Structure 1
Amino acid sequence: MDNAVGPILRMCDEVELVAAAIEDDNPDKEIEVIDRGSYVRIHASDHLRVTAESLKRHLGDQFEIRSLEAMMSAFSGRIQTSSDSVEWSLGRRGTASTAATR
């Protein structure tokens, strides 16, 4: 996949539910979920987003979006987090100044 961006999650019981939430929030994207045993790569070309609403729908109302960060061992691209979404992209979107790379 060209220009792949997205999270790399430690293997845990919630990985499939996080992948389902990401797929819900990106219906127009081809998303690849690759199981590597101890971790799972979830990525798409250029831009990927997941919302707190989708995560809560799949993981329960108690799930906090900040918990997603603890599940990530790494990510591809730039990441931008807010209280209601996490986005991965190749570069900054809009006027975001908090994007960071790893």
Structure 2
Amino acid sequence: MGRPVGPVLRMSDDVDSIVAAILDDNPGQDITVDDQGAYTRVSADGTLRVTRSSIERHLGRAFEMHQLEAVMAAFAGRIDMTSHEVRWRLGQGEESP
């Protein structure tokens, strides 16, 4: 992996659903999921996204995107967050290899 971006998620009841949502929202992309017990790192080259609707579908309940901040211990890359989507990407001027 050249320039990975993505979240580091603390263990919680929601982590598996969030990871599943990230996988659904990035079809065809090579995504690495590294479960270390206390945290799970999800990464891909260039850009990665997750939508509120995908998280809600996997959780089976309502979810506000700001709740992701409580689960996310750290992240790689830049982050863009709206009420409907979170996107991790390379910084301005950086390109995926």
| 2:49 partner amino acid | R
Q: Deviations over 1:30-70 (max 9, x none)?
A: 11110112111001111000001101101123221111111
Residue 56 of structure 2: SS of its match in structure 1? helix
Q: TM-score w.r.t. structure 1 length?
A: 0.85
Is 1:47–1:87's contact at 8 Å kept on the other side of the alignment? yes
Structure-1 separation of matches of 2:13 and 2:33: 15
Q: TM-score w.r.t. structure 2 length?
A: 0.89
Which consecutive unaligned segments of at least 5 residues does structure 1 have? 93-102
- CA RMSD of superposed structures (Å): 1.0
Q: Percent identical across equivalent pairs? A: 52
Residue 29 of structure 1: SS of its match in structure 2? coil
Which consecutive unaligned segments of at least 5 residues does structure 2 have? 93-97
| 1:72 partner amino acid | M
The aligned residue for residue 95 of structure 2 is none
Cα deviation, residue 91, structure 1: 2.2
- Superposition pairs of residues 30-69 of structure 1, within 5 angstroms: 30-69=30-69
Higher RCO, Cα 8 Å, sep 6+:
2
